[in-house]
Structure 1
Amino acid sequence: MDCKTAPNQGHAAAPSTLGGTMIVAGTVIGAGMLTLPIIAAGMWTGWTLAVLVLSFFMMRASAHMILRANLRYAPGASFDTVVRGTLGRGWNLLNGLSVGFVLYMLMYAYTSGGGATLGHSLGLSWPQGLVSLCFGLLLAACIFWSTRIVDRLSVILMVGMVVAFVAALAGMLPAFRVEHLGDGGTLVAGGERLPRAWYVLATLPYFLTSFCFHASVPSLVKYYGPDEKRIGRCIFYGLLIAGLFYAAWILTGFGVLSREGLRAVYAQGGNISHYLAAVEQVRADAWLGQAVSVFAFLAVVTSFLGAGLGLFDYIADACSFDDRVPGRVKTALVAFAPPVLAGTIFPDGFIMAIGFAGFAAAIWSVIIPALMEWKSLLAHQANRGRLALVWLVLIYGLLSAGFHLLSPDVLDILPVYR
């Protein structure tokens, strides 16, 4: 397809709900998922499942707030247009800085994680930076070509990822210990024994980031047109698939590696390759190692494609680049050159990048959507129930951002199990 032709124009067949669902699920399921067992080791099973459910509902609600705001504008309008028109230039500036920061940090994390996973899986002797560079350039080229390519690749890769995921879980089950899931009591942090609930606080930004696909909402509106019900179904099913994947992956990691094993992974730096190496040590099976590696690789690829598509469309809208080939080349350079080069030059810092992304994501994917919804509801004199949901989402975003400032990556006040 000519890259300057919108995927839902002309005589092309109408895009299916499945394609949008896979874009959402593929964007969500990625590097964030692979870090969750490590990050959640402190709070362990019960609190982890509670935070997972909370994050699902809050992030779904904020995504619908973005969708409703976006539908008041023509398809193709991104956050720069929607926020400026709804909240004004001041909020739009904060939103733009937050969106750019999050998407660039995620693209950096996916470039770094993808290079590390690919190098570990293939046993390459190349420098990790070179592998990350090749990985990032290839996927950036796919996004440059068209949204339709991302749609088709997302469906194919998600099928492969499900197969690899099932194979990986099946291979890990012989090493699974149910008693690990019930490991209770208190944990040691800074010389003190703390209840598990304390470890919930520092994890919120990571779970928020793991459900964050919101930059893709304007892309879905551009792709489907003003079809709120269909896009809503894509959001729900995509997040549900991701939530089920997360629960299975986290619980399996808990049962196989145990709490102390996961703390050792965190101490090594927490990159994807460290987690894969730990699994291989517990169950030395070459077939299992390949299955887990393939799943991890496909998860990062689908996430790169989804987040990259959102970043590409955002840059095009914010910089007023047209959709012809010269304009798309400019968009691709601005969108992908900084994170791909950063992932090449600085291949570590994976978990830290996800945490900082969670701080900024709380601003543009939760707080600002809640403010846009609040303004709209007040203008239409909405009922109290709708306003109550806005307040819940707003509080969730503020707490997530605030807790990251108190985390070891910034002020080092909140405990982390490492």
Structure 2
Amino acid sequence: MATLTTSSSASVSVWGGVMLIAGTIIGAGMFSLPVVMSGAWFFWSLAGLAFTWFCMLHSGLMILEANLNYRPGASFDTLTRDLLGKKWNLLNGLSIAFVLYILTYAYISASGSILQHTFSSLSLNISARFAGTGFALLIAFIVWLSTKAVNRVTAIVLGAKVITFFLTFGTLLGHVQPAILLNTADSNPHYAPYLLMTLPFCLASFGYHGNVPSLVKYYGKNPAAIVRCLVGGTLIALGLYAIWLLGTMGNIPRHNFIDIAAKGGNIDVLVQALGSVLNSKNLGLLLVAFSNFAVASSFLGVTLGLFDYLADLFSFDDTSSGRLKTAGLTFLPPVAGALCWPNGFLYAIGYAGLAATVWAAVVPALLARKSRKRFPDAPFRVWGGKPLIILVLCFGIVNAAVHILSSFNVLPAYQ
């Protein structure tokens, strides 16, 4: 999980906080969006993303509201334990651990598939299992070395990701075809029935809530600055997701996504589909480069967060042997999962969305409700009163219900 260095300045720029939130949100999970949203297609998907953005922004503001009643530096864990009690704190901790583990597995799966695709373009036959495991061991070594090593590698990878991002999207948008984007080839299309299926993936694509205490620690009790960070960072993410959907759904016909999903929906399948439709070698190289950097940056961020969480949970020391124990506990379970089931990227992102409903929607709403009772004269309060708390709470519950129902094939699926 990314952090900011504490500043003693009374007046600091919000740009660093905006970039922290945007950088935390935007990662390899964005590759799942066009595939899972192909049923709802472009405009309905934008509506789902916008609604999710609204709810996730305000759930983050609710954490901020509670956090400002405590000293700067108080963690999400501290807030939950003090305001909601040990049981909710345990549930919240378990949901965070599950999300971090399932995302680590997702990125091992994603890295294996995209590295296999990368190597095949170089006429090298490397299996996805071998590539994913090798990449996971490399990340494990970097994380084991030190947090400083992770930060340095992440800075390099993020720079490369930003460059390839703009080059890739500039090229993609130049090839958008209105007939494909508007799906004119389908004489009687149905979109709305598939919207509910997208919600858990939308929720998983706006996760940043663990960074709110970091912003309070950095900016102090300055709610105006932190609100601007949350609004700006989440809006950047929403805008880039909209551009990503425009670039993919404006180039790949809707019915083609059925085959992409049937093949597991992993990153390499989407990249191959874009490359074959556009028939551009340069764009294919950019897509491969961007996807590699996107997976690497997400992988580093998530595994460092899981590593630190487990080290604190089990009180492992910061020596080489202690970090080795933590690294083993961090990487061995998801590596084993990826070896047994290498193509579970889409499923993993969906389950991450299910677990994230606890700490990104349900718990923030409960924190705001409890905080207002305990601190009735608090100087900062999220607008909307009880109706907004109920909306965020219901948003979380509906997301969990949607994922469970879709797991039993109760909801309509585009296939």
TM-score bracket, normalised by the shorter chain, equals: 0.7 to 0.9
Note the 1:2-81 alignment, pairs <5 A.
Answer: 8=5, 20-70=17-67, 78-81=75-78
1:83 deviates by 1.8
Note the 1:263-412 alignment, pairs <5 A.
Answer: 263-323=258-318, 326-381=321-376, 385-407=384-406, 410-412=407-409
Q: Output the amino acid matched with 1:251.
A: L
Distance in structure 2 (CA, Å) of the matches to 1:303 and 1:185: 36
Determine helix, strand or coil for the equivalent of 2:44: helix
Note the 1:154-233 alignment, pairs <5 A.
Answer: 154-173=154-173, 175-183=175-183, 195-218=190-213, 231-233=226-228
Report if the CA contact (8 A) 2:7-2:219 is conserved: no
Report if the CA contact (8 A) 1:22-1:158 is conserved: no
Determine helix, strand or coil for the equivalent of 2:410: coil
Determine helix, strand or coil for the equivalent of 2:252: helix
Distance in structure 1 (CA, Å) of the matches to 2:314 and 2:213: 16
Determine helix, strand or coil for the equivalent of 2:255: helix
- Percent of residue pairs bearing the same amino acid type: 43
Cα displacement string for residues 287-330 of structure 1 (whole angstroms, at most 9, x for unaligned residues): 11110111111112222223223323332333344556554444
Distance in structure 1 (CA, Å) of the matches to 2:26 and 2:372: 32
1:58 deviates by 1.4
Pick closer, same or farther for the CA change 1:155–1:22 going to 2, 3 Å.
farther
Report if the CA contact (8 A) 2:204-2:353 is conserved: yes
The TM-score normalised by the length of structure 1 is: 0.85
1:246 deviates by 0.8
Distance in structure 2 (CA, Å) of the matches to 1:131 and 1:7: 33
Query: In the alignment, what sits opposite 1:3?
Result: none
Cα displacement string for residues 55-97 of structure 1 (whole angstroms, at most 9, x for unaligned residues): 1121122223334444555666544443222211221222222
Of the structure 1 ranges 77-86 and 285-294, higher mean CA displacement relative to structure 2 is found in: 77-86
Report if the CA contact (8 A) 1:27-1:305 is conserved: no
1:208 deviates by 0.3
Gaps of 5+ in 2: none
Note the 1:247-266 alignment, pairs <5 A.
Answer: 247-266=242-261
Pick closer, same or farther for the CA change 1:171–1:127 going to 2, 3 Å.
same
Asked if 1:109 is matched to 2:106, the reply is: yes
Determine helix, strand or coil for the equivalent of 2:411: coil
Pick closer, same or farther for the CA change 1:57–1:309 going to 2, 3 Å.
farther
Distance in structure 1 (CA, Å) of the matches to 2:147 and 2:207: 19
Of the structure 1 ranges 38-47 and 161-170, higher mean CA displacement relative to structure 2 is found in: 161-170
Distance in structure 1 (CA, Å) of the matches to 2:323 and 2:63: 25
1:173 deviates by 4.3
Of the structure 1 ranges 284-293 and 69-78, higher mean CA displacement relative to structure 2 is found in: 69-78
Distance in structure 2 (CA, Å) of the matches to 1:133 and 1:19: 34
Q: Output the amino acid matched with 1:133.
A: T
Q: Output the amino acid matched with 1:92.
A: N
Query: In the alignment, what sits opposite 2:129?
Result: 129
Report if the CA contact (8 A) 1:33-1:246 is conserved: yes
Q: Output the amino acid matched with 1:104.
A: Y
Determine helix, strand or coil for the equivalent of 2:254: helix
Choose which of 243, 247, 251 in structure 1 pairs with 2:238. 243
Choose which of 84, 89, 92 in structure 2 pairs with 1:95. 92
Report if the CA contact (8 A) 2:150-2:300 is conserved: yes
Determine helix, strand or coil for the equivalent of 1:308: helix
Q: Output the amino acid matched with 1:238.
A: G
Pick closer, same or farther for the CA change 1:144–1:8 going to 2, 3 Å.
farther
Distance in structure 1 (CA, Å) of the matches to 2:4 and 2:393: 34
Distance in structure 2 (CA, Å) of the matches to 1:20 and 1:340: 33
Pick closer, same or farther for the CA change 1:226–1:174 going to 2, 3 Å.
closer
Let me know the Cα RMSD of the aligned residues: 3.2
Distance in structure 2 (CA, Å) of the matches to 1:74 and 1:85: 13
The TM-score normalised by the length of structure 2 is: 0.86
1:202 deviates by 1.0
Report if the CA contact (8 A) 2:264-2:344 is conserved: yes
Distance in structure 2 (CA, Å) of the matches to 1:222 and 1:316: 21
Determine helix, strand or coil for the equivalent of 1:250: helix
Gaps of 5+ in 1: 1-5, 188-192
Determine helix, strand or coil for the equivalent of 1:53: helix
1:111 deviates by 1.4
